[in-house]
Amino acid sequence: MASNNVALWSSEQLAHFAAASLVAEARLTPKPGLVDRRTNGAHTDMDLGTFLASAAALEPLFAEYVSAGVRWGHAEDGEPAALADELRRIGVRAEHAMFTATDGVNTHKGANFMFALVLGAVGAVLGAGDADGASVGAGAPLFSPADTARTLELVSAMGACLLDRDVRALLTSVRTGGAQLTHGEAVYLEQGLKGARGEAARGYPLLTEALLPYFRLRADGREPNDDASELLLRALVKLMAQLEDTNVVHRGGMGALVEHRAYCRKLDVRELDEEQLIETLLAYDDELTRRNVSPGGAADLLSLGVFFGLLEGIFTLDALDYRRPWTFAG
């Protein structure tokens, strides 16, 4: 069963889905404080073109993540830590490709970490013969919700290995005075927020408990080819309302995160119509840009939800073209 799935869905096709998910997130407009087709948000060193170049540079390495997972899945009694180590080695090259394509700008470092684990786990599930989504027949979605759950269980196991190892290494480095901290590491030391590693170790709970259930529920009232822009904007609001986004904390402190989440919770429950939602997000985009706040963690998680939506047949690539007139040109 798995060998048929791998044959029908090549590593390159899965990598394309992942890269397309990054592009879909980048082009979604308007996104408060984030780069989109309207503005650069709170960023002065990047624009939409930077994000598109980054996604294109990462796509070949995304295929390597899948292939590594397939090899691990074919082996017997593989340890999640071993796959995580292999993915991390590929990830170093992927990050170099990203920085080369963007002239040193960090567009997708967090997303690269996230998709490394997820694509490796997708390959492992397929390679081990555990996926049942595509066994229904040609044209069926690759994954069922149960396949997604299996994938995220492996992601959680790998994430826990990396979190434990990286936190111990970070604390040792700080004690010896040799630490060169990333934004996420600095926030962890100052606030105790574990960021991307912590979310991975928990299997991305907002993805499994909020985002994907929301997508699946809304799938009953729409066709997979339908323009996904409104659905994705509403999903982004839900994520911003709940996520402990270390990007927000890095730029604005814990106070900014508290205010941001409270605003988004109120926006979510208002259930505005689409035109009112667009107008409200436009105004909030201007506000976050003025305050130099960018909820990049929520954006990364949204792209991951889009990826699983493609795997489960909730969306097609055509749905990510954003054809409605108020979804902006570009």
- Which residue has better confidence, 246 or 313? 313
pLDDT tens track for 230-243: 999 999 999 999 99
Residue 266: predicted pLDDT: 98
* Across 44-72, average pLDDT: 96
pLDDT at 173 over 50: no
Residue 54: predicted pLDDT: 98
Structure-token pair, residue 247: 């990007």
pLDDT tens track for 288-301: 999 999 999 999 99
- Which residue has better confidence, 291 or 195? 291
* Across 176-199, average pLDDT: 56
Residue 188: predicted pLDDT: 47
* Percentage of the chain lying above the pLDDT 70 cut: 83
Residue 166: predicted pLDDT: 58
Residue 123: predicted pLDDT: 95
pLDDT at 326 over 80: no
* Across 72-80, average pLDDT: 86
Residue 121: predicted pLDDT: 97
